[in-house]
Amino acid sequence: MLAGRLLGEALMNAGYYAQSYPEFGAERSGAPVTAFLRASEAPIEVRSPINRPHFVVVIDPYISMERSVIDGLREGGLVVANTTLPPGKLKETLRPAVECKVATVNATKIALDVLGRNNPNTAILGALAEVSKIAPIDFLMEAAKKAFPGRVGELNAEAIKRGAAEVAVA
């Protein structure tokens, strides 16, 4: 949810319209959460789940191994996953039905190194921004600093920068 909100804010600052919203299952505490983000140069009037995404970002390293996370991915799409696997190996594991790029980053390690806790959201956003060029990294860093004033914001901005620097693509 946080990653979607920060990316949405960065996109709005870059001149886009953005819409971000989560989807919860029956149990919230500790259960996986799916978050959607739409961005457009024109106002967004659609208010339904996204079934054919251009990008899929998987923050949970265990879920990144499940083929179902890329269901509906568009031809030429992009998967960015928090994993220790190299992107080629993850692509073999996921066996995408369409031609796509797969990018991986060890966002958990970055979060532990930079933030001192397992909160990989901002590191994976840096990876997404670097590979997709969807939002300037500086805009993401500013969104993180705004969401988390002071030292915490600075550290999250650093995690974004490291995610961008350490992402690998296949």
pLDDT category, 2, cuts 50, 70, 90?
confident
Q: How far is CA 30 from CA 26, 68, 155, in A?
A: 11, 20, 25
The 10 Å Cβ neighbour count of residue 75 is 11
Nearest to 157 by CA among 107, 114, 98, 100: 114
Between CA 34 and CA 138 the distance in angstroms is 26
Contact 164, 116 (CB under 8 A): no
pTM (predicted TM-score): 0.89
The predicted pLDDT at position 30 comes to 57
The predicted pLDDT at position 33 comes to 75
Contact 101, 133 (CB under 8 A): no
Nearest to 127 by CA among 145, 115, 109: 109
- pLDDT tens digit sequence for 53-63: 999 999 998 88
The predicted pLDDT at position 29 comes to 55
- pLDDT tens digit sequence for 84-103: 999 999 999 999 999 999 99
Between CA 150 and CA 146 the distance in angstroms is 9
Domains of the chain: 50-169 (3.40.920.10)
The predicted pLDDT at position 26 comes to 59
Given a cut of 90, is residue 152 above it in pLDDT?
A: yes
Between CA 77 and CA 96 the distance in angstroms is 10
